[in-house]
Structure 1
């Protein structure tokens, strides 16, 4: 069977997207754990990121991080 070039491009794109999502989730978890929020709020955010990884990470960076910085 002859491999088509776009199969490699598609595979590389999928791998890049998966790696970007993993980096986003890990970055959100590290940012949450380093934030000045109380332990209870950190736990809520960590659980949210683990239950809904993409939505939780995006919301942390869009909403949670800003509120954590203004609360300290």
Structure 2
């Protein structure tokens, strides 16, 4: 059986610390993605609220106009 060269074999502690470093970087990146997602979600919610308010005004104006026209026709 062939023995691996001592130079190419990394000690277990070194390998574990390297993996821990990689996991810390992944955690930071996922945290920034989560923050971005939350900001985007808040902006979408605000936009939805603005659209709802605008639609209520439009429907109110349309109903008011319709009622005025119908009253003008019936009271003529």
Shorter-normalised TM range: 0.3 to 0.5
* Higher CA-based Rg: 2
Considering Cα pairs closer than 8 Å and 6+ residues apart, tell me whether 1 or 2 has the greater RCO.
Answer: 1
